[in-house]
Amino acid sequence: MKIKICGIKTLEEARWAVAGGADFLGFNFYPPSPRFISFQDCCQIVQVLRSEAPNTLLVGVFVNLPPLKVLEILDYCDLDLAQLSGDESLEDQTILGERAYKALRLSKSAKDFVLDKMVYVRKTPPAFLVDASIPGEYGGTGKLTDWELAASLAAKKPIFLAGGLTAENIAEAVRRVKPWGVDVASGVEIAPGKKDRVKILSFVRNARQAFQELRVTQ
């Protein structure tokens, strides 16, 4: 079970997440997002984390950038993976290959989609991420994902579950979806783009407990 805290903007927030036990940290490079971080600020945080938390995986969040630009930024910022949260084509995803995973925005109307025609499924987890479908938005909305549809995907592939997760609902989400990992951004904030230490710690604690209970019952 893996936990990702997304939308990190400061070293203090990164340290809260690492101290709480997060496995992945996400840095959002989409300018309209309240969680946007510059490449320079990201680099400074990453430099410290490579020393203080070498086992934490660091992810850049991108929206509709050309794949070669994504690779350039990954190398420049010394990031492990790219999360593709836009409308990236399967061709662009394939160019990035194992260095990226796709974020899928799920809705009831998406039940008949064919994964292999939309998504490059990574050979190593996470295969992809599932999030809520909100027209015109690219994640971080705080809206719940379709857990029924997410569960059907989680039964087949190791997925990250995102979308409206909080310390209060994470246990139910884990029980119902049974994901490989969970991803949270707005659910651990006191204002858009501003993380809260107590909320981060509560989310990670409740997520870990829910996963442990799920493991016992399986």
6 flagged as catalytic: yes
131 flagged as catalytic: yes
**Quick check: 128 and 104 in contact, CB under 8 A?**
yes
Q: Whole-angstrom distance between the N-terminal and C-terminal Cα of the chain?
A: 14
**Residue located via tokens 């995907």:** 153
**Catalytic-labelled residue, pool 42, 77, 131, 183:** 131
**Catalytic-labelled residue, pool 6, 42, 146, 183:** 6
Q: For residues 89 and 103, what is the distance between their CA atoms, to the nearest angstrom?
A: 12
Give the β-pairing of 194-195 and 100-106.
unpaired
Q: DSSP character for 133? A: -
Please list the active-site residues.
6, 131
